Amino acid sequence: MARTMWDSSVGKKTVMAVSGLIMLLYLVAHMIGNLKIFFGAGEFNDYAHWLRTVGEPFMHYEWTLWLIRVVLVVAVVAHAVSAYQLSRRDIKARPSKYVHKKPRASYATRTMRWGGIILGLFIVWHILDLTTGTVHPGGFETGKPYQNILDTFSTWYGNVIYIVAMLALGLHIRHGFWSAAQTLGVGSRTRDRALKTVANVLALLLTAGFIAVPVGVMTGVVN
Amino acid sequence: MKLTLRVWRQQNADADGAMSTYEVDGISPDMSFLEMLDTLNEELILKGEDPVAFDHDCREGICGACSLVINGDAHGPERTTTCQLHMRSFKDGDTIDIEPWRAAAFPVIKDLVVDRSAFDRIIQAGGYITAPTGSAPEAHATPVPKPDADFAFEHAECIGCGACVAACPNGSAMLFTSAKVNHLNVLPQGAPERESRVLDMVAQMDEEGFGGCTLTGECATACPKGIPLMSITGMNKEWLRATRKAAKR
């Protein structure tokens, strides 16, 4: 079955849909967690510490966190590899362009590929900035995410990278969530409006929720 | 009406093509688009030039032979086939760009004619039912619920013109393939090959070099028969079901 899935263009889209939904689920949790930054350094840093203790005493310290990380890495890689292979196929299937060009499809649909690449690069920067601290501006302190976030969003480029990436995320989810439903065969004429609404609401809430953090730092609400 | 036409001219499959400009005069708004091209060709023949090659057959909008991307739209600005498109959709003095279907799986044979036999091979892979031949069976022998009959008919309307592939930025044949899969898979007559049909047709579609679906919706917008985009959703559902069933066996 795995072979049939991976060898078919329809199967590979299924891989993209499932991996995309896993990432989306994670993002909802991530966004809600982020909002704790508005309740002060104590609550936010405690929450960050709690994330490492989830599942104790059954799980050892950080085991749950690492499990989530592994699932996410698998999802990101599966999503990106499928997208790359499908895009190669798509571009090959239309080698010559029309002379008479017309603007096609919605903005969200047309930006899926570039948006995806932007998001991929953003994830690398985001991890190097706030997880490993490799490219972190100022002194990175493990276990003090509140202070680290303040450092990042005190730089102009930190804000620009983050906000651009979150806008790309919104557009990506807007087309991606609805598309995933079609790929998994759960869309229908009666459900279409509801699915489009959920996609738009998810895109809007996630983008707004994530962008609230840098805006909070910039306006001094978070300090 | 006086029109300026910019038409894709290509001597054969291996030659390089280019857009050539022609002026046509005395076009009536009541002419069909193909009759307008006939007028151009008559003039070209009188001048001793090679007429523009284009596909056409019934000219009633039911056979699927005509094609043409007109001003960037498959079958032109109206939601119908090129043969049923009339010159009243254009204005006197307009410049009209006429190009062939563009897809790797639809190579240009000459001018505006492309080879659509990839569609035939997709149909051969599973777009049929196993039925004993002979006289037509009694219509009520196999009851079909009305909603299923309507659903099947909606998808059976596909004439296989290839506008979906031409309009799709990925040159994907998902709408064409899904129309046939949905048409036959919902009917009791199509039930014996329900799984193999969708698996084989999708596999053939991939093999022909068509692109994948990114749900831009261009196909359904271009379709002269109004095959809905949800048809693709239905085929995805059938494909996943068939893959699960094949794995259990």
| pLDDT one-digit tens code per residue, A147-180 | 999 999 999 999 999 999 999 999 999 999 999 9
**Which of the following CATH numbers is that of domain B116-248: 3.40.50.1370, 3.20.20.70, 1.10.1060.10, 3.40.630.10?**
1.10.1060.10
Q: Which pLDDT belongs to residue B186?
A: 97
**Quick check: B99 and A98 CB within 8 A?**
yes
**Quick check: A94 and B171 CB within 8 A?**
yes
* Domain B3-109 falls under CATH 3.10.20.30: yes
Nearest CA to A104 out of B72, B77, B82 is that of B72
Contact indicator for B63, B159 with CB cutoff of 8 Å: yes
**Quick check: B233 and A86 CB within 8 A?**
no
pLDDT-derived band at B141, boundaries 50, 70, 90: confident
On chain B, the residues whose CB falls within 8 A of the CB of A82 are: none
Q: Which pLDDT belongs to residue B244?
A: 94
Q: Which residues contact A173 (CB under 8 A, 6 or more apart)?
A: A24, A199, A202, A203, A206
Residues facing residue B96 across a β-bridge = B5
Give yes or no for B173 touching A (CB within 8 A): no
What does the alpha-carbon distance between residue A192 and residue B183 come to, in Å, rounded to a whole number? 21
* CATH 3.10.20.30 in chain B, residue ranges: 3-109
Q: Which pLDDT belongs to residue A206?
A: 98
B164-217, pLDDT tens digit by residue? 999 999 999 999 999 999 999 999 999 999 999 999 999 999 999 999 999 999
Task: Give yes or no for residue B78 having a pLDDT over 80.
Answer: yes
Which of A118-122, B45-49, B123-127, B129-133 is least confident? B129-133
B92-139, pLDDT tens digit by residue? 999 999 999 999 999 999 999 999 999 999 999 999 998 877 888 888
Q: Tell me whether 0.85 is exceeded by the ipTM.
A: yes
Distance from CA of B107 to the nearest CA of A (A): 10
Residues facing residue B114 across a β-bridge = B108
Q: Which pLDDT belongs to residue A107?
A: 86
Q: What domains lie within chain A, and their CATH numbers?
A: 2-94+105-219 (1.20.1300.10)
Q: Which residues contact B178 (CB under 8 A, 6 or more apart)?
A: B155, B227, B231, B232, B234, B235
Nearest CA to A10 out of B127, B38, B210, B128 is that of B210
B178 to chain A: nearest residue by CA? A10
Task: Give yes or no for residue A182 having a pLDDT over 90.
Answer: yes
pLDDT-derived band at B140, boundaries 50, 70, 90: confident
For chain B, what percent of residues have pLDDT higher than 70?
100
A51-73, pLDDT tens digit by residue? 999 999 999 999 999 999 999 99
What does the alpha-carbon distance between residue B243 and residue B230 come to, in Å, rounded to a whole number? 20
Q: Mean pLDDT of all residues in chain A? A: 95
